[in-house]
Chains A and B, each alone.
Chain A
Amino acid sequence: MHHAIISCLHANLPAVEAVLNDIDKQGIDTITCLGDLVGYGPQPNEVVELIRKRGIATCQGCWDEDIIDGLNACECSYPSQLAERRGHLAHQWTDDQLTDENKCFLASLPTSLRRDRLLFVHGSPNSQHEYLLPDMDAFAALERVETAGADILFCGHTHQPYVRELRDGSIRVRLQSAEHGNDQGEELTLPMRKIVNAGSVGEPRHGSTNATYVIHNDATDEVEIKEVAYDVARTCQAIIEAGLPKVFAWRLSHGFEFAEQAEDASHVCER
């Protein structure tokens, strides 16, 4: 059975509508959303309401968490003062716009979803704020999947879609005992694990303005990264009309993120 995974919608209604339309056309009715329904974009209520109306299983993203728990959830993840100040501005705007009902919905979201051997998270199993970048250290990547007890880990947060296969993994433990004066070792060989990043629907960062999502085949474990064009100009116009910074519209129309993103894959929120 095919199912679709979407992530990082960022209050971009035209992009969400286009992606859901693309999924519907393929007759796929199981959709999982990896969070960040809101943040930066101009239609936070509309996007949350669409996800609720469609009954899409969703886990909580870092933006969803910050809107509920307050901006200080993870100030350390901003890569620059400019990004931080723009982030604060977008946070305040989103906080003002979101209805209490939609905030309650975001607050109710789980940090992860599990279906058998598939685990769905926003950032990593450790935190909604941790980036699993495609080139992160293989051991660290394998550790994230293995300790979460998953065969395939679906994540988002980086806005760059990718599929990473972790083959030939092994963990060797060696214990030196002073009492017995000899080494005791054990080696654990792991089967292949996979990290699948769904990219971003509402704030793509893969070199084009197209929204991305992924389709996974349960039977074969094949993963397809899909790109969907949407009406970027409509979102940009909505950004300006909403009174959000014009530079958000400019960045989105050029395939850049609203505010530049932290590149530190090892970053873990210490809150």
Chain B
Amino acid sequence: MGAMANRRGFIVTLLMLAPSTVLIAVFLIAPMLIVLGYSFAGRDAYGGIVPGFNLDSYRELFQPLYFPIFWNSVKLAFWNTVLCVLTAYPIAYFIAFRAGRFAPVLLILMLIPFWIDFLIRISAWVVLMGRNGMINSVLTATILDEPARMLGTYGAVLVGLVYAFLPSAVFPIYAALQPIDRALLEAGRDLGAGPVQNFRRVTLPLSMPGVMAACLFVFVPSMGVFAIPVLLGGGKSIIIGNLIVQLFLDFRNMPLGSAVSVVLLVFSSLGILLYMRALRRVEAARA
């Protein structure tokens, strides 16, 4: 009887897990393996895949030609992460500790811009940052003689990235701050800890996992972005995302495109590993 129930339970568990396992195995892992395979394959003059095993694509990739693109991607993702996290922390702090009953409203408001199509949002920035746009009208009326050039600059790309990724940083930090026991802070105060000390010794360490998650959620995806550098940066400095689009959709160079994808995958996995290690360290320190 017990064994029967056990067996039945096992089958039910299997059935419940089957859809997600199949999804991941067939549509995530298998495709990734094919990409890995293609990155070692050759290609004919018109972009067809020639099966085989060689390191040509990787050899090509590690030429000086591609270094600026990788460096640029890491740099852009880094600054985007720094800006997003530095802005997101005070916001999350305010929502968690100061906003009171308006906290849910503020959280929903933060999401509203994201219900408008991504490209329409970016187009609003194209208009705002234009030579005759609103920002320049204000600037020329006050401090500048000539309209400043904003579109097509590094700064414009960063603004677009922060605009796109800020909520990805706010939510994990908020999620870490929100459950912090108010009693703990009270206790700290009673023991004579000043608010800053309290923040440094209690709030900040407890919210570190959230900060790290925020870094992960901003840094990794921002390397694969391709529309923002084109629409706001004038396509002048391209990043890995643009390179992949160019190789797959313009040059029809699937082996090289696959190799770039594999490199990006390795970068991302490194990011994830670093995150997990840091998380473990923080949790170990706390325990």
Decide if A and B are genuine partners. Answer: no
